[in-house]
Amino acid sequence: MAQLVSAQFKQAPLPYAYNALEGSIDAQTMEIHYSKHGAAYVANLNKAITGTPLEKESLVKILSGISKQTPAVRNNAGGHYNHELFWTILTPEKNTQPSEKLAKAINQSFGSFDAFKEKMSKAGADRFGSGWAWLIVTPEKKLAITSTANQDNPLMDIAEVKGIPVLGIDVWEHAYYLKYQNKRADYLSAIWNVINWKEINKRYEAALNGKTE
């Protein structure tokens, strides 16, 4: 029988049904991704921090000092944060749009909305092996696109490009392989149909004020 641990961190409920994103992300992938992979990251994070001072720290605080932590904390704290963000920036709601303020910032930073999507998708496609593509707000309050390996993210003190994530796209194979096999580019094209701009707008406003959602 598995040993129970006192969990500080919990997995938030998925905000839609497993089959809600069909056409872009299939139900089987979403169920496995959320109930197996996502659940494992939070369970393993809680195991890694049990009996340590990290039990009293926020997830963002742990990430900000990740260079001082064990690989188990780094991988699972990153995995928990990244996936909790990922679930929220997807939606079955059709035609959500960037706010006027965010759309203007995207155009100023990347030239156009289409150019932004192309650069974001390229960041995911070019990430060798497993990882994430990110749209972040930098410490200078500018938008930037970056990518990280494995379960690293731009909140970590070891990140090459640091900032507050407002959009993250998972490019681990478990996020797409059942439907798209080795065609990561097809997944990166389809995911734009289920991006939740209402959530990203909120995260953008919070990030401009130095806050993570």
Cβ-Cβ contacts under 8 Å for 65 (sequence gap 6 or more): 157
Q: Which two tokens stand for residue 205?
A: 């406003």
pTM: 0.95
- What is the structure's pLDDT at 4? 44
DSSP assignment of 94-144: TT----HHHHHHHHHHHSSHHHHHHHHHHHHHHS-SSEEEEEEE-TTS-EE
- Report the C-alpha gap between 48 and 185 in whole angstroms: 35
The pLDDT tens digits for 8-39 are 899 999 999 999 999 999 999 999 999 999 99
User: Helix or strand or coil: residue 40?
Assistant: helix
- What is the structure's pLDDT at 7? 55
Spans of all domains in the chain: 25-212
Contact 195, 112 (CB under 8 A): no
- What is the structure's pLDDT at 3? 42
- Amino acid identity of residue 121, one-letter, is S
pLDDT truncated to tens, each residue of the chain (213 aa)? 334 445 589 999 999 999 999 999 999 999 999 999 999 999 999 999 999 999 999 999 999 999 999 999 999 999 999 999 999 999 999 989 999 999 999 999 999 999 999 999 999 999 999 999 999 999 999 999 999 999 999 999 999 999 999 999 999 999 999 999 999 999 999 999 999 999 999 999 999 999 997
- Binding-site entries for Mn(2+): 33, 83, 170, 174
- Binding-site entries: 33, 83, 170, 174
CATH number listed for the domain at residues 25-212: 3.55.40.20
